[in-house]
Amino acid sequence: MKLVTGATGHIGNVLVRRLLEKGEKVRALIWRGEDTSPLKGLNVEQVVGDVLDPASLESAMRGVDTVYHLAGIISIMPGSNPFVWRVNVEGTRNVLEAARHTRVRRLVYTSSIHAISRAPHGVAMDETLGFDQNNPYGEYDRSKAAASLEVQQAASKGLNAVIVCPTGVIGPYDYRGSELGEVIRSASEAHTMFYVEGAYDFVDVRDVVDGIIAAGKHGRRGESYILSGHKLSVRYMLDTVREVTGKAFARIKIPFSLAEIAARYTCWYYERTKSKPRFTPYSLEVLQSNSNISCRKAKIELGYRPRPIYETIADTVRWFVDHHRFKSAA
With a cut of 50, say whether residue 189 has pLDDT above it: yes
Band of residue 212 on the pLDDT scale cut at 50, 70, 90: very high
With a cut of 80, say whether residue 77 has pLDDT above it: no
With a cut of 50, say whether residue 2 has pLDDT above it: yes
Three-state DSSP class for residue 188: helix
Could you tell me the CA-to-CA distances from 177 to 57, 118, 140, 317, 323 in Å, in that order? 28, 27, 19, 13, 13
Instruction: Identify the H or E element spanning 181.
Output: helix 179-188
0.85 surpassed by pTM? yes
Higher local confidence (pLDDT), 230 or 264: 230
Per-residue model confidence (pLDDT) at position 274: 60
Could you tell me the CA-to-CA distances from 194 to 68, 174, 181, 209, 234 in Å, in that order? 37, 22, 15, 31, 10
The answer to whether 185 and 325 are in contact (CB under 8 A) is yes
Structure confidence by residue, pLDDT tens digits, 313-330: 999 999 998 886 555 443
With a cut of 80, say whether residue 265 has pLDDT above it: no
Structure confidence by residue, pLDDT tens digits, 154-188: 999 999 999 999 999 999 999 988 888 888 998 99
13-22, 65-74, 240-249 — which is least confidently predicted? 240-249
91-121 burial code (b ≥16 CB/10 A, e <16)? bbbbbbebbeebebebbbbbbbbbbbebbee
CA atoms in the 13 A half-sphere facing the CB of 14: 20
With a cut of 80, say whether residue 80 has pLDDT above it: no
- Rounded to an integer, the average pLDDT of 42-71 is 97
| Percent residues over pLDDT 70 in the chain | 92
Q: What is the DSSP letter of 1?
A: -
Structure confidence by residue, pLDDT tens digits, 105-145: 999 999 999 999 988 888 999 999 999 988 777 888 999 99
Structure confidence by residue, pLDDT tens digits, 84-113: 999 999 999 999 999 999 999 999 999 999
Q: Which residues, 6 or more positions from 266, have their beta carbon under 8 angstroms from its beta carbon? A: 277, 279, 280
Per-residue model confidence (pLDDT) at position 53: 96
Per-residue model confidence (pLDDT) at position 78: 63
Q: What is the DSSP letter of 41?
A: T
Structure confidence by residue, pLDDT tens digits, 269-282: 566 666 565 667 77
Mean pLDDT, rounded, of the chain: 90
Strand duo 224-227 + 251-253: pairing: unpaired
With a cut of 80, say whether residue 38 has pLDDT above it: yes
